[in-house]
A and B are shown apart, each in its own frame.
Chain A
């Protein structure tokens, strides 16, 4: 009977699987194949095996983009997580907390391009609000892009943390408070361990998002000045669509995929703790 049921299900699943295979699996597998070729996107590809990978290993620009990407992820995490946690925790207790949350969340509705152009305008030293060259200096440009990215998306992270806080039983906090714990101690020793699984998931999500960062950089700096904000995503795009080297770009994509996979698994393993039951 069970076998018959399964046989009945298969025909219904096939269209969905076919669509998934065509739109998801085929492009993904194709990328792995293209990465083994020298392909300009027009002529037939030349199979070069691991030639692109060898070239990539010696590519100084690519190496610098790795550094910039990691910088983006690390600085972004250092601003995003404390910020999102702070806003989520504080607005929970404030009288008009939901109103504050609304304003913090509001930038999310803007398209990335709009948000980036807004920041670019604000940071213009001639007619913006800051009279200093922040986007034009290699030493500060990346920080500005990170700030814009975090400003745009922090509302979502705040909401996710806020949802996690809501899950923490009030009795546990009250008990800790009655035992004489300060607000920080309550957060550090009661709330924080209880929301660790959410923090861990969000950290991984940020890493994936950060390693793929592209739109804010393209719109705000184009990778400059002096390639100080060139990240893997923007370099990949330039190699593919400016230089027409789709094989090499696919190799970068494969390396990026491998890096994300490895880092995600590593972070997942390193940050794994016994779940607190409540």
Chain B
């Protein structure tokens, strides 16, 4: 009798779990696309906007100001800001999965709502298409919204079928930052070629300062060096193809030379002392404390370190030097587009779209650049001082390459096949030739 009772209880539990599992996975039907074409006069109600930065931060304060302006324009609308960066990303993801996402979500297209596989949400019908809105004129421009976006950024907004699913918020680029005083004291100029970079690094080192600040605790930042060397010597598409398993890494032109460049940098002792134990905040601090002359970093650096930059510190930037005669992309720049999407399953997607259009207006973009020092993704908006060269590259359709060759969103085996050997070179455990062999063999194995 007891056994039968237990069996009944077990069966009931299993049935309950299966029922709940069914509820969990069933999801809901995508909302009608007509939300995008809603009448602006009917833009009423509350909607949520995810801020990647927490309350009190300059970016959050900017959003608060914009929210008040938006509410002034649409008196029946109410903006609610929600923190969704850092440790709160999983919370936003959970809301997406539960079918209750905020209207406007911060997320890279390759990683919508923090997920590396951005198409996951598109394929599930959870992202509001923006094509209709993108084809309409944008305030401050005499052209459709999509055409106001810089050419190199535009391709980041669409799915493979050409549908627009995101609007750009800001652009980040990766370049060298340098300490103008150290350069001036040593009588050196920002290098434009790889040979000049080595010459400058030698002079800086001879002057008792580490040429490059770098963190050893976050492998992708080590990877940036080889990424750029490969971009210049082998070409971005070739490397992407190798990572995707379409080409043999070792067979690409210029990979051995790129690996040799990296080996030379390590052997010459160009990197910050004890970088292996230095996290990225400490590495950035070391640069601003004058312990290193240069740092290869994203354009977010100045804003991120604003509180720690000593008064009078003059920072300059220069693009990663070219390699004359090499077969790769000499004008390519790595970077990312901070994208915003509208959740189709949210309560008020039409308001979400209106908000994104509002952010994209030229006046708001100009204020955005002035207030945050970010690079705008829109044409006709001047770049912040020091980033003119990199921003200029974004006028070329194919100049923009995904940061870290998008390796971060690859499966662990692929990510490690590419990233671990690079770290080993930095740690002095591997030479350039070994680097090429290990990446090649590793990618081949990871891709089957």
**A contact set with B: CB distance below 8 Å:** 21, 25-26, 29-30, 33, 39-45, 59-61, 120, 123-127, 133-138, 221-222, 224-227, 235, 238-239, 241-245
Given contacts A29-B14, A44-B27, A135-B217, contact A125 B274 (CB under 8 A): yes
> How far is B90's CA from A26's CA once the two chains are assembled, in angstroms?
20
Which chain B residues in 14-45 approach chain A with CB under 8 Å? 14, 16-18, 20-21, 24-27
B413 at the interface (CB under 8 A from A): yes
Instruction: Tell me the minimal C-beta distance from B165 to chain A in angstroms.
Output: 14
- The reply to whether B411 and A136 form a contact with Cβ atoms under 8 Å apart is no
Binds A, one of B121-129, B173-181, B327-335: B121-129
Contacts of A59 in B (CB 8 A): 413
Number of A-B contacts (CB under 8 A): 110
B78 at the interface (CB under 8 A from A): no
- Which 7 A-B pairs rank lowest in CB-CB distance, beginning with the nearest? A136-B276, A136-B277, A125-B274, A29-B17, A133-B277, A42-B124, A43-B124
- The reply to whether A226 and B218 form a contact with Cβ atoms under 8 Å apart is no
- The reply to whether A133 and B420 form a contact with Cβ atoms under 8 Å apart is no
Contacts of A45 in B (CB 8 A): 25
B135 at the interface (CB under 8 A from A): no
Give 4 new A-B contacts, CB below 8 A, not counting A29-B14, A126-B282: A21-B16, A136-B274, A225-B423, A243-B411
Please, which residue of chain A has its CB at the minimum distance from the CB of B411? A243
* Of A25, A43, A126, A239, most B-chain CB atoms within 10 Å: A126
How many residues of chain B have a CB within 8 Å of chain A? 47
> How far is B278's CA from A238's CA once the two chains are assembled, in angstroms?
22
Binds A, one of B112-120, B234-242, B247-255: B112-120
- The reply to whether A40 and B277 form a contact with Cβ atoms under 8 Å apart is no
Please, which residue of chain A has its CB at the minimum distance from the CB of B97? A41
B393 at the interface (CB under 8 A from A): no
> How far is B22's CA from A29's CA once the two chains are assembled, in angstroms?
13
Contacts of B423 in A (CB 8 A): 224-226
B141 at the interface (CB under 8 A from A): no
> How far is B411's CA from A245's CA once the two chains are assembled, in angstroms?
9
> How far is B278's CA from A134's CA once the two chains are assembled, in angstroms?
11
B431 at the interface (CB under 8 A from A): no
Contacts of A224 in B (CB 8 A): 217, 219, 423
Instruction: Tell me the minimal C-beta distance from B145 to chain A in angstroms.
Output: 27
Please, which residue of chain B has its CB at the minimum distance from the CB of A220? B217
> How far is B413's CA from A235's CA once the two chains are assembled, in angstroms?
12
Given contacts A41-B115, A238-B412, A243-B412, contact A136 B278 (CB under 8 A): yes
Contacts of A60 in B (CB 8 A): 413
**A125's contact among B18, B24, B277, by CB below 8 Å, is which?**
B277
B367 at the interface (CB under 8 A from A): no
- The reply to whether B416 and A33 form a contact with Cβ atoms under 8 Å apart is no
Instruction: Tell me the minimal C-beta distance from A227 to chain B in angstroms.
Output: 7
> How far is B408's CA from A23's CA once the two chains are assembled, in angstroms?
33
**B276's contact among A25, A29, A40, A225, by CB below 8 Å, is which?**
A225
* Of B96, B97, B277, most A-chain CB atoms within 10 Å: B277
A sample of 5 cross-chain residue pairs with beta-carbon separation below 8 angstroms, ordered by A number, consists of A30-B17, A41-B93, A124-B278, A241-B90, A244-B117
Instruction: Tell me the minimal C-beta distance from B218 to chain A in angstroms.
Output: 7
B313 at the interface (CB under 8 A from A): no
Given contacts A25-B13, A222-B217, A243-B116, contact A61 B278 (CB under 8 A): no
> How far is B411's CA from A61's CA once the two chains are assembled, in angstroms?
11
Contacts of B96 in A (CB 8 A): 42
Which chain B residues in 264-278 approach chain A with CB under 8 Å? 273-278
Please, which residue of chain B has its CB at the minimum distance from the CB of A126? B274
> How far is B60's CA from A122's CA once the two chains are assembled, in angstroms?
33
Given contacts A41-B115, A61-B416, A126-B282, contact A225 B216 (CB under 8 A): yes
Contacts of B121 in A (CB 8 A): 42
Contacts of B279 in A (CB 8 A): 120
Instruction: Tell me the minimal C-beta distance from A57 to chain B in angstroms.
Output: 14
- The reply to whether B282 and A43 form a contact with Cβ atoms under 8 Å apart is no
Please, which residue of chain A has its CB at the minimum distance from the CB of B277? A136
Contacts of A134 in B (CB 8 A): 277
> How far is B17's CA from A43's CA once the two chains are assembled, in angstroms?
19
- The reply to whether A242 and B116 form a contact with Cβ atoms under 8 Å apart is yes
Instruction: Tell me the minimal C-beta distance from A221 to chain B in angstroms.
Output: 7
- The reply to whether A61 and B413 form a contact with Cβ atoms under 8 Å apart is yes
Which chain B residues in 252-294 approach chain A with CB under 8 Å? 273-279, 282, 286
B62 at the interface (CB under 8 A from A): no
* Of B26, B115, B420, most A-chain CB atoms within 10 Å: B115
**A136's contact among B114, B124, B126, B216, by CB below 8 Å, is which?**
B216
Contacts of B412 in A (CB 8 A): 61, 235, 238-239, 243
Contacts of A242 in B (CB 8 A): 116, 408
> How far is B216's CA from A134's CA once the two chains are assembled, in angstroms?
12
> How far is B126's CA from A43's CA once the two chains are assembled, in angstroms?
10
B424 at the interface (CB under 8 A from A): yes
